[in-house]
C-alpha cells in the first residue's frame, strides 16, 4: 500500500540519492495544451529541504517544463526503483524557474555538478509526497550516464548554446514563453 509523507525523510532522501533517473511532468493551463513528461539524469536533482527540491535544467531540444512552470507552477517528480526493492515515489509541487544571473542562481548553482549547457534551475515547493509499490516496474542495471548531451554542449560552446536557446527554447511546442535567452 502507498503512503503519504509529511516531508522528505532521511530514508527517502537516501533512496532518492540512489536513483540514476527521474521524471518531471508538467502541463499547461489550457485543456488543449500538450502535457509533458521528461526523463532526467546526470546527477542533476537535489533535495533542498524537507519539502523543497530542485534540479539543474540543461539545454535540450525543448523547454516544455520551463514554459509550464512559468505559466502555472504545477509539476510532479517521479522516481522509480529499477533495482533493489520495488518502489515509486512522487513529489507533487509548485515550481519556479531560477535563471543564471539571479541571486537565487548564485545561491543554488554550487549545489549541482558542473555540467555544460546549464540553462536554469527548477526549484519546487513540495505539497504532496507519496510512494506506491512499483511492482510492475521492470528491473534494470545501471551501466553509466550517457555522455552525449555533455559532449554536444561542450562542442557547441557557450555562445552557440545561447543562440540555440534563442532559436529552439524560446517557446514551448504550444507557443508558450520558455527561455528568455540573451
Residue 174 included in any domain: no
173 in a structural domain = no
SS3 172: coil
What is the band of 180 on the pLDDT scale with cuts at 50, 70, 90? Answer: confident
* Residue 176 within any structural domain of the chain: no
Letter string b/e over residues 103-115, b meaning 16 or more CB atoms within 10 A of that residue's CB: eeeeebeeebeeb
Percent of the chain at pLDDT exceeding 90: 97
Record the pTM.
0.95
Residue 30, pLDDT > 90, answer yes
Task: Give pLDDT, residue 152.
Answer: 97
As a whole number, mean pLDDT of residues 62-83 equals 97
> Does residue 48 fall inside a structural domain?
yes
Range of the domain at 105: 3-168
Residues shown for the chain: 182
Overall number of domains in the chain: 1
Q: What's residue 181's pLDDT?
A: 61
Mean pLDDT score of the chain:
96
**CATH number of residue 124's parent domain:** 2.30.110.10
Residue 177 lies in a domain: no
Q: Could you tell me if residue 181 is inside a domain? A: no
Residue 67 resides in a domain: yes
Backbone angles phi, psi at 41, to 5 degrees: -155, -145
pLDDT tens-digit readout, 43-63: 999 999 999 999 999 999 999
Checking if the pLDDT of 182 tops 60, the result is: no
Amino acid at each position: 500500500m502507498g503512503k503519504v509523507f509529511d516531508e522528505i525523510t532521511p530514508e527517502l532522501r537516501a533512496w532518492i540519492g540512489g536513483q540514476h533517473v527521474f521524471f518531471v511532468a508538467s502541463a499547461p493551463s489550457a485543456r488543449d495544451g500538450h502535457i509533458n513528461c521528461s526523463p532526467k539524469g546526470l546527477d542533476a536533482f537535489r533535495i533542498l529541504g524537507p519539502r523543497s527540491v530542485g534540479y539543474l535544467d540543461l539545454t535540450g531540444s525543448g523547454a516544455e517544463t520551463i514554459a509550464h512552470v512559468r505559466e502555472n507552477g504545477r509539476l510532479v517528480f517521479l522516481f522509480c526503483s529499477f533495482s533493489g526493492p520495488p518502489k515509486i515515489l512522487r513529489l507533487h509541487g509548485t515550481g519556479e524557474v531560477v535563471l543564471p544571473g539571479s541571486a537565487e542562481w548564485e545561491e543554488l548553482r554550487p549545489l549541482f555538478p558542473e555540467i555544460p549547457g546549464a540553462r536554469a534551475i527548477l526549484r519546487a515547493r513540495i505539497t504532496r509526497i507519496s510512494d506506491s509499490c512499483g511492482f510492475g516496474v521492470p528491473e534494470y542495471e545501471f551501466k553509466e550516464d550517457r555522455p552525449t548531451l555533455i559532449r554536444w554542449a561542450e562542442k557547441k560552446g557557450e555562445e552557440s548554446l545561447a543562440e540555440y536557446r534563442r532559436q529552439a527554447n524560446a517557446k514551448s511546442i504550444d507557443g508558450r514563453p520558455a527561455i528568455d535567452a540573451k
